[in-house]
């Protein structure tokens, strides 16, 4: 019985390999077929948006991680605490009115998009970079970036490196399946540095390897590196983050393609935090402002009633969210500045480009009307 099985397997394997070569002819057919099927499926899928099912289920499943200082760590009671975790809570506050109605699902870097694709999570808020490939082939829709970052390199302070261009033939450690992997390879070939890039399942392993001296450099988003540097056992002074920034890394929450209602709902939840900071509303003064202000745009934003000649009305832009979602977000979680100050400022990260457009940064929320 072995010979037929072997023949079968060999034929199958070779057929698959050969079909890869012949794929160029079939891709066009496949894409037209796919677009046809997607148009029909979006028509049927539109009737069951994730927004409705999440509101029915009463909990938002948020893909995250458990050990990135500043962004998402587990505290002693086993709860997720951090910048990204707060945005998960903001989404829950907006969609469900309760910031605690969120289920945090820890994911490895390589599993992020498959979890989104398979529906194990509703939204991915896991310091993930927005790229064209991820928009396309990973079938993800990226929303308002909550942190504009760049890729940097961290080395030991006593390594003698002061610039990336000095790291010829170095061993660089990255996480599997991230943009940093590709960027590091690109940078290496661009500058002719001949790096050996080792990729690990999760940052725990990189930390171990880095402490032991197996890696000359650790390349990742500067925010991540700052976080790990602050928690380094030998103290932050033992590490140095080199000045070069390789690439743009806009970190943004992501949802699955094809669900416009859900995407827009999540997007506006994020934008609410930015807009709130622009209005100067914080979690401490939101009640006071809501009851005492007569700025119509603020009242509209907080979902308060606006007196007009025909009576009072509340703005409902038909996003599918409760009309006071922005109020809930600010009250239960805070505005962007508060969230940033709560988690990222202690690490030593400056606002930089992540400030409001009125303060010289690039955070700009569309008007809520």
Partner 1 sequence: MGSLSSTSSRVPLWRDVRVLRWAFQLLVLAGVFAFIFWLYNNYQVNISKSQIQTDLTFLDNPASFTIPGNDFDQSQPVRDALVQGFLNTLRVAFVGILLATLLGTLVGIARLSGNFLLRAVATAYVEVVRNLPLLLLLTFMNLAVVLQAFPRIEDAWLPLDLFVISNRGLALPWFEGSGYILLGVIVVALLAMWLTVKIRNAQADKNGKPAYGLRIGALIAVVIIASGWLLLGFNWTLPFVEGRGTVGGLRLDPSFFALLVALVVYTSSHIAEIVRGSILAVPKGQGEAADAIALSSGQKMRLIILPQAFRVAMPALGNQYLNLIKNSSLGATISYFELTQVAQITVGNGSPAVPAFTLTLLVYLAISLVTSLVVNYFNRKLALVER
Partner 2 sequence: MIIWLKRNMFRSVGDSIISVAVAALSGWVIWQLLQFIFITGRWEIIQVNLKLLLVGRFPEELMWMLGASILALSFWIGAVASSSKRDLNNRTSLIKTGFGLLSRFGLIIALGAIIIALAGTLDAVLLGIGTVAAIALGRLVGLARRKIAVLAKIPWLVWQILLVALPLVMIIQTLLVSDLSEWGGFLINVYIAILSIALAFPLGVFLALGRRSSLPIVRLVCTSYIELVRGAPLFVLLLLAGVALEFFIPSEIAPGAIFRAVTVFTMFTAAYLAEIIRGGLQSISKGQTEAGKALGLSTVKIIFLITLPQALRNVIPAQIGQFISLFKDTTLAGAALSMLELLKIGEAITKQDDYLGQGLVYESLGFVALLFWVGSYVMSRESQRLERKLGVGIR
* CA proximity to 247, closest of 85, 363, 119, 131: 131
Q: How many CB atoms lie within 10 A of CB 69?
A: 21
Residue 37 touches partner 2, criterion: CB under 8 A: no
Touching partner 2, residues 105-124 (CB under 8 A): 106-108, 111, 114, 118-120
Nearer to partner 2, 208 or 307 (CB): 208
Between the CA of residue 326 and those of 53, 59, 283, 322, 361, what are the distances in Å?
21, 18, 11, 9, 22
Closest distance to partner 2 from the beta carbon of 323 (Å): 31
State the DSSP code for 240.
Answer: E
Residue 169 touches partner 2, criterion: CB under 8 A: no
Residue 163 touches partner 2, criterion: CB under 8 A: no
Touching partner 2, residues 218-277 (CB under 8 A): 231, 233-234
Nearer to partner 1, 184 or 265 (CB): 184
Residue 189 touches partner 2, criterion: CB under 8 A: no
Residue 117 touches partner 1, criterion: CB under 8 A: yes
Using CB under 8 A, which of the segments 38-46, 85-93, 199-207, 287-295 binds partner 2? 199-207
Residue 38 touches partner 1, criterion: CB under 8 A: yes
- For every residue of 135-200, DSSP letters joined together read HHTT-EEE-S-SEEEEEEEEEEGGG---SGGG-TT-EEEEETTSHHHHHHHHHHHHHT---EEEEE
* CA proximity to 249, closest of 145, 349, 175: 145
The rounded distance, in Å, linking the Cα atoms of 57 and 162 is: 52
- What does the chain come to in residues? 369
The two tokens of residue 119 are 């529906």
Instruction: Please give the residue ranges that form the binding site for partner 1 (CB under 8 A).
Output: 2-3, 5-6, 9-10, 12-13, 16-17, 19-20, 23-24, 26-27, 30, 34, 37-38, 41, 45, 109-114, 117-119, 133-134, 137-139, 169-171, 176-178, 181-182, 185-186, 188-189, 195-201, 205, 208-209, 212-214, 216, 256-258
């Amino acid at each position: 019985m072995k010979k037929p099985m072997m023949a079968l397997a060999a034929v199958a394997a070779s057929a698959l390999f050969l079909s890869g070569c012949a794929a160029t002819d079939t891709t066009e057919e496949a894409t037209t077929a796919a677009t046809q099927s997607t148009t029909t499926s979006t028509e049927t899928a539109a009737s069951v948006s994730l927004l409705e099912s999440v509101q029915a289920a009463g909990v938002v499943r948020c893909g995250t991680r458990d050990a990135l200082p500043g962004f998402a760590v587990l505290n002693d009671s086993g709860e997720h605490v951090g910048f990204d975790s707060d945005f998960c809570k903001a989404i829950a506050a907006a969609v469900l009115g309760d910031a605690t109605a969120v289920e945090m699902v820890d994911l490895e870097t390589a599993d992020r998009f498959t979890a989104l694709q398979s529906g194990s999570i509703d939204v991915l808020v896991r310091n993930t970079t927005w790229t064209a490939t991820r928009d396309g082939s990973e079938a993800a829709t990226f929303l308002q970036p909550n942190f504009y970052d760049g890729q940097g390199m961290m080395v030991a302070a006593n390594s003698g490196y002061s610039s990336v261009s000095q790291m010829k033939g170095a061993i660089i450690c990255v996480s599997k399946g991230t943009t940093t992997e590709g960027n590091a390879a690109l940078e290496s070939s661009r500058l002719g540095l001949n790096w050996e890039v080792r990729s690990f399942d999760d940052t725990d392993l990189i930390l171990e390897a880095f402490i032991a001296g197996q890696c000359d450099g650790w390349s990742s988003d500067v925010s991540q590196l700052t976080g790990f540097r602050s928690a380094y056992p030998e103290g932050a002074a033992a590490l140095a983050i080199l000045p070069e920034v390789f690439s743009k890394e806009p970190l943004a929450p992501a949802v699955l393609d094809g669900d416009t209602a859900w995407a827009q709902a999540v997007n506006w939840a994020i934008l609410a935090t930015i807009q709130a900071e622009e209005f100067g509303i914080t979690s401490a003064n939101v009640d006071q402002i809501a009851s005492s202000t007569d700025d119509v745009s603020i009242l509209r934003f907080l979902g308060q009633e606006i007196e007009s000649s025909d009576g009072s009305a509340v703005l409902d832009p038909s996003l599918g969210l409760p009309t006071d979602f922005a109020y809930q977000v600010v009250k239960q979680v805070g505005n962007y500045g508060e969230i940033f100050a709560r988690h990222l400022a202690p690490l030593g990260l400056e606002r930089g480009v992540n400030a409001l457009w009125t303060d010289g940064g690039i955070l700009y929320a569309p008007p809520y009307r």
